[in-house]
Amino acid sequence: MHDWIDRRRLLAFAGAAAVSPALGQETGSAHLHAMMAPDPTAPKVAMLVYPRMVALDLIGPMTVFTIMRWNLQLIWKERTPVSTDVGVPIAANATFAEAYSDPDILFVPGGLLGTIACMQDPEVVDFVAALGARAKWVTSDCTGSLILGAAGLLRGYDATSHWGVADLLPLLGARHVAKRVVRDRNRLTAGGATAGIDFGLVLVSELAGEEASRRDQLILEYAPAPPFRNGTPDEAGPERMADIRKGRVWMDEQARLAVEVARRRLAPG
């Protein structure tokens, strides 16, 4: 059974460290490191990072998986930090050449402008296609599903994406299902950025059982209570949706053009 980190153990450790500073500085720090270190027998997760990605798309699932002590690789062409939507750079810890050859999970986050650039980059698309063909689970959050689709990994599968571009999934051979998290066999896709935590908990439930996922959720104190019911197109209503789409016209058109190019590339013959 996994040696999960929970608040009770951390509080016990903190109390012991307070009584004995030497424990906190020496034995304690080593123990804490051991508690947090990935479990070599746990799933291997290959997580794509790329310029102009949405940080929350990555950080939500990454936090869920870290609590489980899964083995995480952040993968990009090189190890130099990539930009994110919030201005906090994220550095890969493995290059394409160093990536797991047989990951248990391939995960692709979103970020529409970065997603479009990845879809237009043959090196990225070929890498995702090759790794996805070997992964036990092929997964994404937000617009990351378009990258999976461009790599031919969603043909014949139910999938979802951010509401702004979810209608493009059928052009890449997927069946769009308007749900927060969609599973079809070994494909697991999630909607907008905040759905990444839900996605992570669903995947933990699939691989480690419901009780492990419940424990993870409790450690995170994940009990969403948004101030407004406005998080989906249906909740927002047609008037608000029409208004917000006005500011997305150029961006959504670029996504459609990139998807059309990918569709033609995937077409047989």
Following DSSP, what letter does each residue of 173-229 receive, concatenated?
A: T-EE--SSEEEETTEEEE-STTHHHHHHHHHHHHHH-HHHHHHHHHHHT-----SSS
Beta bridge partners of 188: 139, 183
Strands 181-184 and 187-190: antiparallel
Task: Supply the DSSP symbol for 138.
Answer: E
Q: How many CB atoms lie within 10 A of CB 138?
A: 27
User: Angle at Cα 165 formed by Cα 81 and Cα 121, nearest 5°?
Assistant: 45
Strand runs (DSSP E) across 56-152, as ranges? 71-76, 94-95, 105-108, 137-141
Given the residues 46, 62, 142, 258, the one annotated as active site = 142
Which sign does the torsion angle of CA 198, 199, 204, 210 carry? positive
Q: Can 142 be counted among the known catalytic residues? A: yes
Phi-psi region at 152: left, alpha or beta (left = phi > 0; alpha = psi -120 to 50): left
Half-sphere exposure for 1 (CA within 13 Å, toward CB): 5
- Tokens 């939500």 locate to 60
> How many angstroms separate the CA atoms of 147 and 107, rounded?
11
Q: Which residues are known to be catalytic? A: 142
